[in-house]
Structure 1
Amino acid sequence: MRRSRSNLPFTMNIVVPSRFQPSFGSLRPAAGTSFALINQIPVLFSDDEQKLFELNDVAAFIWCSMQNAVPLETISDQLVNRGLSSTGARESLRDALNQWLGAGLIVPHIDTLDFAFCTVVGQRLVQIRASDARVLDHLRSIFIATTAPKADAETIFAVHRAGSTSIVIHEGRKVLSCGTNELAPTFKAYITEQLLLTGDTRNVVFHAAAVVSGDRALLISAPPGTGKSTLTMHLLNADFGYAADDIVIIGPDGAIQGAPFAPTLKSASWSLVSGFRPDVYSVTIHNRLDGQAVRYLNVEADVYKGPIRVNWIVFLERTSGGTPPTLRALSELDTIRRIVGASFATHGKLTTESFHTLKKVASEARSFVLRYAEAEGATNKLIELCNGKL
């Protein structure tokens, strides 16, 4: 397959309709991919990429054979009959498939539910199918709880591993591909953007952890690297309930609901929680695209289910070692300013209604800035706050 050409003319003489989706083995044309002859030059058109990909004669033969459901082994034999060596035929077939997979022109097809699970993201039941157990374990690790696959899932993702690369397919299209060791955090970021952030327009998504004392939520907001996840794990060890590690959804009534993700711990925090969570060193290491190595911890036993009223909002500020933790109360106005700075609305716009939602939360909760150096001291200070001693 030659390089893509995005400026070729669109006078297509012979076109296979994009709705024509024949299956060839475990691979099939991606939705929106069409074959055409333009001035007798074979090309593929990608609806997603808005590009034409010019094919050489061998690649065109392979594509047309696959569209006719010819098995890959037979295509390789036919290439030999057309003059290629056995090695050359296999390499040509392999190279074409790899390039088409990488460009999203063909996608793997996974029908089996042998490696599959369901989970709830936002208000949607999501089914995830994987090509093998390793991919399934990577994906399962990011969620708090999963169930057996269900027929009524609203959204279905299929994830296929090809060597060290994993390809995620949704509705017949490749939506992302990455190294398998990067799959979990990359997929988490994708479904956060595509599912969590496209819900009720009245909702506000607040970057904060949420733990529960009694039936009231403590929200902890902080910039990356401030120790929010480490502090969350210390609070769970002190018998708080778990609602969220990084994202909470504030509904129109002011109640919050956590995102369905397990706590994400960066490498700097592993030793800080290993005393009470020694399993931190036994779970899989995942690589984020920003270079951070992370692990996901199972907290299903600590999860508080259902909507929760917010009683306390704490914004973290780290100080140098040896400084005792201090809590400074915030006014309602300062609280709203800080929440707005750390929030985003579904569909990208904070409406008047969602602003009043934030005002309601800020007026009903006590808000503070917590300046601290060590997680243990900060945990004790927050326990005192939630126990009414401050």
Structure 2
Amino acid sequence: MAVEIVLSGPNDEVFPWLESRLDSAPGVRRLRVGERSVLFCERRQQLFELNATADCIWRSLVAGRSPSMVVHDVLALGASPAEALSFVIASARSWLVAGLLAPAEVAARCRKTPDAEIHLRLSELACTLALHGPAHHPLQRELELVFTQFLAAHVDRSASISLVCEAANVFLFFAGRPLGLFRTDQVIPEVKAIITEAISRSLSDGWFLLHAALLRRGHRGLLISGAPGAGKTTLALALAARGLGYGSDDIVTVSPAGHLRGIPFSPAVKSGGWELAAAHAPQVLGLPIHRRGDGQQVRYVPIDCFAEGDVETLGWALILDRRPDAKPRIEPVEPLAMIAELISGAYCPSHVLRADTLDAFAAGFAGVDCRRLIYADVTQAVALIEGMIGE
């Protein structure tokens, strides 16, 4: 039976793997560089430096010794019993969180038939979320609500994300490889990040991604760009509430033919925008709070007015410029400046934007109304946009 140790301090947490074998993840290697030791994680493309104590702990763990056994190895370095226990637990937990280690029994559960599966289809990507945990775990319902627009009865040859639930913790695996240990409020943002990366990797040659929002009025698209914090999500949510078809608040794919398609994740409203968003989506204040990897707290707002398929005709393109106390106004922008703004944050799977794709994308801007929206108040901004596109 695992011995549970409660850490003292401001972040009290239970460590239930004291008697477990913790295996290193594939692609993680300890390196010696001169007199110093580091861990290299191939998946993260990162180096993690080890001091003498951490180096001892790592070598003992990957040799198959349980954390409780490794405590004795640290005692031999001159640490007190309390210090040795604290060092081992802190080190092991940090490596579990980073996905450098995984408990052997957790990895074994991941390989078994899951207790529940959620099948998703996102454009060309098929994805299965395999849940290993108590039946009817609350996380299953939350995942289904946040990703409801992508639910499918079944998908073949899908990317597989496994979630192994352990009390208030969840281990995530992608294609059988550990990604880390997460609190339940961190899981959905992390799953979204994994799916987003999988989408980017699944793009065929010539495709690329824009960091933008996409909506539709009739057969014409409205593309909204702007720096982080400019208000793309809040405006997309407000415009969807006013009847525009919702394509995306964050990610737009561009085909080699220059056609646009949003990836309609539920809008992720950051904590600073909850009150603003509530004016257009009152339910936001009652939704669960999730914590992203960057520390931002977000709430995911369900949307029911999706814009299906490609946007072949772009009608309007906006650059957001949010300024405190600004007088709301819309100014014309040269199409070339708009295209340069959009592709400055674009992602290509080959890291090379093809000239023929850019040619097709630029050709789609013939007749597009390109503007810069300067604003402070969301309601006034919505009124200006509706005036621009025609109610």
Normalised by the length of structure 1, the TM-score is 0.72
Q: Mean alpha-carbon deviation: is it higher for 241-250 or for 356-365?
A: 356-365
Q: Who is 1:387 aligned against? A: 390
Q: Who is 2:70 aligned against? A: none
Q: Who is 1:361 aligned against? A: 364
Number of residue pairs the alignment of both structures matches: 321
Letter aligned with residue 350 of structure 2: H
8 A Cα contact 2:22 2:66, kept in partner: no
Q: Using the alignment, how far apart are the partners of 1:363 and 1:274 within structure 2?
A: 36
Structure 1 spans left out of the alignment, 5+ residues: 1-26, 35-44, 64-90
* Secondary structure at the counterpart of residue 363 of structure 1: coil
Structure 2 spans left out of the alignment, 5+ residues: 1-20, 29-38, 49-54, 68-84
1:125-136 alignment, distance < 5 Å:
125-132=126-133, 133-136=137-140
Shift of 1:332: 2.3
Q: Using the alignment, how far apart are the partners of 1:109 and 1:276 within structure 2?
A: 43
Shift of 1:134: 2.8
Shift of 1:172: 2.0
Q: Using the alignment, how far apart are the partners of 1:31 and 1:267 within structure 2?
A: 34
* Secondary structure at the counterpart of residue 339 of structure 1: helix
Q: Who is 1:213 aligned against? A: 217
Q: Who is 1:258 aligned against? A: 262
8 A Cα contact 1:122 1:199, kept in partner: no
Q: Who is 2:306 aligned against? A: 303
Q: Using the alignment, how far apart are the partners of 2:359 and 2:146 within structure 1?
A: 32
8 A Cα contact 1:135 1:161, kept in partner: no
Q: Who is 2:101 aligned against? A: 104
- Cα pair distance change 1:339/1:147, threshold 3 Å: closer
Q: Mean alpha-carbon deviation: is it higher for 345-354 or for 265-274?
A: 345-354
Letter aligned with residue 289 of structure 1: G
Shift of 1:216: 1.2
Q: Who is 2:11 aligned against? A: none
Q: Using the alignment, how far apart are the partners of 2:252 and 2:261 within structure 1?
A: 6
Letter aligned with residue 361 of structure 2: L
Task: Write out per-residue CA displacement over residues 116-159 of structure 1, whole angstroms, 9 at most, x where no aligned residue.
Answer: 21112341211101234233244345425143552624211111
User: What's the RMSD between the two structures over aligned residues?
Assistant: 3.5
Shift of 1:387: 1.5
Shift of 1:46: 10
Letter aligned with residue 226 of structure 1: A
* Secondary structure at the counterpart of residue 219 of structure 1: strand
Match of 1:352 among 352, 355, 358: 355
Shift of 1:234: 1.3
Letter aligned with residue 320 of structure 1: P
Q: Who is 1:84 aligned against? A: none
Q: Who is 1:182 aligned against? A: 186
Q: Who is 1:124 aligned against? A: 125
Normalised by the length of structure 2, the TM-score is 0.71
8 A Cα contact 2:269 2:277, kept in partner: no
Answering whether residue 64 of structure 2 is matched by residue 54 of structure 1, we say no
Q: Using the alignment, how far apart are the partners of 1:161 and 1:252 within structure 2?
A: 41
Task: Write out per-residue CA displacement over residues 14-33 of structure 1, whole angstroms, 9 at most, x where no aligned residue.
Answer: xxxxxxxxxxxxx9978859
Shift of 1:334: 1.4
Letter aligned with residue 255 of structure 2: G
Q: Using the alignment, how far apart are the partners of 1:184 and 1:127 within structure 2?
A: 14
Letter aligned with residue 352 of structure 1: A
Letter aligned with residue 109 of structure 1: R
1:1-390 alignment, distance < 5 Å:
32=26, 54-55=59-60, 60=64, 103-105=100-102, 106=104, 107-110=107-110, 111-132=112-133, 133-147=137-151, 150=154, 152-299=156-303, 301-309=304-312, 310-321=314-325, 323=327, 325-387=328-390
- Cα pair distance change 1:274/1:164, threshold 3 Å: same
8 A Cα contact 1:127 1:149, kept in partner: no
